[in-house]
Amino acid sequence: MASVLKQRGLQLKKQMQVLLTQSIKLSSVKNEPNILKSVYEDIPPVNSTINDYIWQNLDRWPDKTAVVCAATGHGYTYAQTHRMSISFAASLRTKLKLKNDDTVAIILPNVPEYPCTMLGVLEAGCIASMMNPAYTAHELHRQLELIECKAIVTSKLSYPSVAEAIKKLKTKPAVILIDNDELPEGVIKFAEFAEDMSIDTDCLKSVQRSKKDVAILPFSSGTTGFAKAVVLTHQSVVAMNQMINNPEIIAVDEATDSYQCAVPAVLPFFHIFGFNAVMMNLMTRGSKLITFAKFNPELFLKTIVQQRAEHLYIVPPMVVFLGKHPAVTGEHLQSVRGMISGAAPLSESDAAAVLKKNKNIFFRQGYGLTETNGGVSVGRKTDVNHATVGYLFGSCAAKIIDVNTQQALGPGEEGEIWVRGPNLMQCYYKNEQATNEVLTQDGWYKTGDIGKYDTNKYLYVTDRLKELIKVKGFQVPPAELETILRTHPKIMDCAVIGVPDHMTGEAPKAFVVAQKDITTDEIKQYVNNQLVAFKHIKEVQFVDEIPKNPAGKVLRKDLKAKYC
């Protein structure tokens, strides 16, 4: 087994060395004015599938832990994960008779079986579609119906919703459960596929996948409407991971005989941030992924301390928790050297609250969307500019578009962010109309986010285009008000939306999760004293929590539906 792993590793390394002699150049940007380009080097051209890229260094750390459950200690080494992925792939091909481009839904929380499941699906030549395991049957049915999956990998936790969703499907997919005991009738036990060491894997020799083949179908709400399946190829996923692995960006050291970086994997793997930045990328570096089926604050802190976690990949609500919760002390963060927050805007004050507990942490914000494989920009690993989302990744370009004139704007001017690069999606699956709304003919993706860049090439995201509040014709970005609100020491969390106003059209209303006793008048005075009159908060309502999606983005529609 060791010789096989070593041979595969050497072959893949040679391929990568050849690729490093070339470079990808963005096309059609030579003569365009006001184009923001990256300060990082372009990535080498992609000529690899995801599996080959992930396993290229397998021979260097086969016996190190690849993934382990934070709650139970159950886990697998890199060699075990690789072998299980191969067995799982062969089982999909021979036992379920799946073929190239058949879709498989993965509806799992972060568990040790997730990587081998994902890589097994891809090894079989199939397409993986990751879905939120907390979704209802109604939500799952919509997504399962769209992708027409042939198999579903899930757990007993999600099975009731999955089973209910399947009842409404015309074609019934096979269901594989990762659990070992007391399984419902008619389902397949995961171990029978992934741990079948007697299965003939020769069937995988006929699987021919290229970099241009579709690899995954994660879901995104895009700029409007229902969630859409995003078509991401092997090429785009590998490109994203090459971008992250730039020496100026990546802070996680590769594993050695005497060292392995342990990283709490709290970001859901079904979300593109957790999928690429945590699961895929850190596996290329031989890291130990410590999985959390759900965010448990006490277990999270305990894991950071016991595993001496050096790097954290988190979303804004977790940053707020680490910075503002009185139970979190500097001792909890003593081992942490780096922290990256993404998926939603974060204020400088929230970053400052964390750094107050450990001034030695290099804190960065990143920016990306599912449609860009989770990455558009990030700061250097030693960056200290906490207001920005960093620089564009290598081989990427962006421009800031005036929402009225559609002209590209210069430094310091706010508009919609358009991006282009090799990490971009191919399209929305079976949704030509939605694709045409966001992808231009010359390859620009319209993010629906409002932002700007400065003369130093730092990118800033200031708000969502669709979430702007219009007061007397003026545009008020909710994020600006939320940034001020979060600086108040008595406020734990907040969100701002526009509500109808007979005098001004709309008016900003704040929803606040208070940490200590505070009055609505005190909040309004605190915020309004810092803003021009048309931006003043008119109403304040106290709530127990701010509704957010798993990536930490505020669900403003849910706020309106519940309270307005």
The answer to the question of residue 507 being in a domain is: yes
Per the listing, tokens 């960093």 go with 390
Residue, of 31 and 72, whose pLDDT is higher = 72
The answer to the question of residue 550 being in a domain is: yes
Q: What is the pTM of this model?
A: 0.82
In this model, does residue 534 exceed pLDDT 70?
Answer: yes
Tell me how far apart the alpha carbons of residues 235 and 219 are, in angstroms, rounded to a whole number: 18
CA distances from 105 to 98, 128, 131, 238, 424 (A): 13, 6, 7, 21, 22
Q: What is the DSSP letter of 202?
A: G
Residue, of 533 and 455, whose pLDDT is higher = 455
Number of domains in the chain: 1
Question: Which of left, alpha, beta for 495 (phi over 0: left; psi -120 to 50: alpha)?
Answer: beta
Q: What is the pLDDT of residues 339-355, one digit of tens each?
A: 999 877 777 888 999 99
The answer to the question of residue 486 being in a domain is: yes
Strand 474-476 to strand 469-471: parallel, antiparallel, or no bridges (unpaired)? antiparallel
What pLDDT does residue 504 have?
A: 78
The answer to the question of residue 512 being in a domain is: yes
Q: What is the DSSP string of 376-441?
A: SEE--TT----SS--EEPTT-EEEEE-TTT-PEE-TT--EEEEEESTTS--EETT-HHHHHHHB-T
What value does the mean pLDDT take over residues 112-131? 98
Q: What is the DSSP letter of 530?
A: T
The answer to the question of residue 206 being in a domain is: no
* SS3 call for 288: strand
Q: Which amino acid is at 375?
A: G
The answer to the question of residue 493 being in a domain is: yes
Looking up residue 476, the CATH number of its domain turns out to be 3.30.300.30
Q: What is the pLDDT of residues 223-277, one digit of tens each?
A: 555 678 999 999 999 999 999 999 999 999 999 999 999 999 999 999 999 999 9
The answer to the question of residue 343 being in a domain is: no
What value does the mean pLDDT take over residues 371-394? 94
Where would I find the H helices in 25-184? 50-54, 78-94, 114-123, 137-147, 159-167
What pLDDT does residue 345 have?
A: 73
Element housing 237 (H / E): helix 234-244
Q: Which domain holds residue 490?
A: 468-563
Residue, of 379 and 9, whose pLDDT is higher = 379
The answer to the question of residue 488 being in a domain is: yes
